[in-house]
């Protein structure tokens, strides 16, 4: 799957978590800009894992700040699983 | 700029909870009178938040044994077992625990926290995989962070999600260790261990169960959820603590796996910390004997747990899904929860307040833990007080007609 397509799916997932926030882009910071608490972030990550059929290791989660960071992690894990 | 600036947000939240005498996170008892009563800010309170499940902290035999140990062996070991050597009691307690659980091996740690920290950071390493329940205790998460295994989470108590995650790892090399808890400490819910064990068998993983809140509580012999669900043979490691049912402090891990003993020189949270003092070892051994011998403690505990759980539920409060000695009431607003907690203390009942993010599902919890030592009238008092405060704070309708027959409007 292309990075852009992954990004779009992540953004649509975030819109579901925060329907009141309009502008979510690749550079949006998931925790700070969207004010998601740690439980909401965890639920969101679990839903992303389901959607892309991957498991994101916790140390990788810690490094994710923006939507694009997450998209790159998803892309990397998806490719690794197909390899 | 202060080195503590990074805690500004936390400081703000902490300070907003009230001054020292009213802050739920800086409680200091004037005195502890018994397993179920203490004095807090000059007020006598029922202790309903101590995890003292079997009420053995004032057990006379335990006290006598601890006194004898401190008189004959001194106040402390002043060092680690690897460097300073073990006392006879350390090995004896390990043999007692191994026998109790029917396992060959046991290691005792200086706290329950360190048992998880030590086991999880050591038995899996680089190239291995840890698969944790998402609601795992902080000590499990911290142990995972201290080690080098890759850590992933499965949805809380969801064996299908666990299966999916193990399936994704099917052809990935390395050992896989699943971690679940017997009773989860926040809501008192019980893991679906039979189903988790079935996934473990099918996918060829190892399984560790933390029985911190379920040892002495669940199972015919008090061995915890693994015993209660009949899957002890599938559980490769059981970790637990002495600071709940056994009324002291410390932790342990038991296992039947060959080669377990090498951990004594590999597990840093075991090696580089002072060993438990003789008095603790002595009272813990005494409590374990009592736990093993006296099934009436578990019967009484579950009767008390049922009384509190059903009583709070009957009031219309939202409690956890299972009857267990952990009985938590979920509220919506943290501010209401703090006021509720203070009103309970003022009314003579002490329990725990848990605020998000330390709670599942982002809701504040008033968390009670029941003891076999509670008298039914103490639990009744707590239920009444909960009802009064809940109505005062608008958590429940101000006047409840629930107990009365429905009124028919006059035509």
The separation between the first and the last C-alpha atoms of chain A, rounded to the nearest angstrom, is 13
pLDDT tens digits, B363-409: 999 999 999 999 999 999 999 999 999 999 999 987 645 544 444 44
CB B148 within 8 A of CB B120: no
Sign, CA dihedral B96-B98-B102-B104, equals negative
Inter-helix orientation angle A67-82/A38-52, to 10°: 40
Contact between chains at A55 and B168 (C-beta distance less than 8 A): yes
Q: Which two tokens stand for residue B1?
A: 């700029």
Q: Is the pTM of this model over 0.90?
A: yes
Of residues A26 and A79, more confidently modeled: A26
Nearest C-alpha neighbor of B333 from the set B16, B76, B26: B16
Which of chain B's residues have a Cβ under 8 Å away from the Cβ of A42?
A: 134, 153
C-alpha dihedral (B243, B23, B354, B319), degrees to nearest 10: 100
Task: Tell me the C-alpha distance between B13 and A39, whole Å.
Answer: 18
% of chain A surpassing 90 pLDDT:
61
pLDDT of B100 reads: 98
**pLDDT < 50 regions, chain B:** 400, 403-411
pLDDT of A83 reads: 52
Average pLDDT over residues A52-79: 92
For chain A, say whether B144 makes contact (Cβ under 8 Å): yes
CB B24 within 8 A of CB B344: no
Which of chain A's residues have a Cβ under 8 Å away from the Cβ of B155?
A: 46
Contact between chains at A55 and B362 (C-beta distance less than 8 A): no
pLDDT tens digits, B75-127: 999 999 999 999 999 999 999 999 999 999 999 999 999 999 999 999 999 99
Contacts for B301 with CB less than 8 Å, ≥ 6 apart: B53, B54, B217, B325, B370, B371, B372
pLDDT of B401 reads: 52
Average pLDDT over residues A47-75: 93
Sign, CA dihedral B34-B40-B46-B51, equals negative
pLDDT of A16 reads: 87
ipTM summary value: 0.88
Nearest C-alpha neighbor of B242 from the set B263, B213, B265, B222: B213
Reply yes or no on whether the pLDDT at A24 is more than 50: yes
CA distance B361 to chain A (A): 6
Which of chain A's residues have a Cβ under 8 Å away from the Cβ of B134?
A: 42, 46
pLDDT of B399 reads: 65
pLDDT of B411 reads: 38
pLDDT of B406 reads: 45
């Amino acid at each position: 799957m292309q990075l852009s397509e992954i990004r779009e799916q992540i953004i649509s997932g975030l819109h579901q978590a925060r329907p009141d926030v309009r502008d979510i882009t690749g550079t949006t910071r998931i925790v700070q800009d969207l004010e998601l608490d740690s439980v909401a972030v965890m639920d969101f990550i679990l839903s992303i894992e389901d959607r892309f059929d991957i498991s994101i290791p916790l140390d990788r989660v810690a490094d994710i700040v923006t939507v694009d960071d997450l998209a790159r992690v998803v892309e990397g894990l998806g490719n690794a699983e197909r390899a | 700029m202060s080195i503590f600036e990074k805690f500004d947000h936390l400081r703000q939240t902490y300070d907003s909870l009230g001054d020292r005498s009213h802050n739920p996170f800086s409680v200091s008892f004037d005195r502890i009178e018994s397993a179920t009563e203490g004095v807090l800010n000059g007020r006598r309170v029922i202790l309903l938040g101590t995890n003292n499940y079997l009420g053995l902290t004032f057990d006379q035999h335990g006290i006598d044994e601890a006194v004898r140990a401190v008189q004959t062996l001194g106040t402390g070991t002043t060092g680690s077992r690897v460097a300073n050597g073990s006392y006879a009691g350390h090995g004896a307690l390990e043999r007692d625990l191994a026998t109790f659980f029917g396992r060959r091996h046991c290691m005792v740690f200086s706290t329950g926290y360190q048992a998880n920290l030590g086991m999880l950071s050591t038995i899996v390493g680089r190239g291995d995989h840890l698969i944790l329940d998402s609601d795992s205790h902080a000590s499990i998460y911290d142990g995972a962070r201290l080690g080098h295994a890759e850590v992933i989470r499965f949805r809380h108590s969801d064996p299908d999600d666990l299966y999916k995650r193990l399936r994704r790892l099917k052809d990935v090399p390395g050992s896989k260790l699943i971690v679940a808890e017997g009773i989860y400490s926040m809501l008192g819910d019980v893991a679906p261990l039979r189903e988790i064990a079935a996934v473990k068998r099918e996918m060829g993983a190892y399984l560790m169960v933390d029985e911190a809140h379920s040892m002495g509580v669940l199972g015919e012999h008090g061995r915890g959820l693994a015993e209660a669900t009949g899957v002890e043979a599938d559980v490769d490691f059981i970790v637990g603590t002495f600071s709940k049912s056994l009324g002291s402090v410390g932790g342990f891990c038991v296992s039947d796996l060959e080669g377990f003993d090498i951990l004594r020189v590999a597990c840093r949270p075991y090696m580089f910390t002072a060993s438990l003092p003789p008095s603790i070892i002595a009272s813990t051994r005494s409590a374990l004997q009592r736990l093993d011998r006296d099934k009436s403690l578990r019967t009484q505990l579950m009767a008390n747990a049922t009384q509190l759980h059903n009583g709070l539920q009957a009031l219309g409060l939202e409690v956890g899904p299972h009857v267990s000695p952990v009985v938590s009431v979920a509220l919506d607003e943290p501010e209401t929860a703090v006021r509720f907690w203070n009103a309970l203390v003022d009314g003579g009942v002490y329990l725990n307040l848990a605020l998000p993010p330390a709670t599942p599902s982002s809701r504040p919890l008033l968390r009670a833990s029941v003891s076999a030592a509670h008298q039914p009238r103490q639990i009744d008092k707590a239920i009444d007080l909960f009802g009064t405060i809940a109505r005062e704070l608008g958590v429940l309708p101000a006047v409840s007609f629930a107990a009365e027959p429905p009124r028919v409007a006059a035509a």
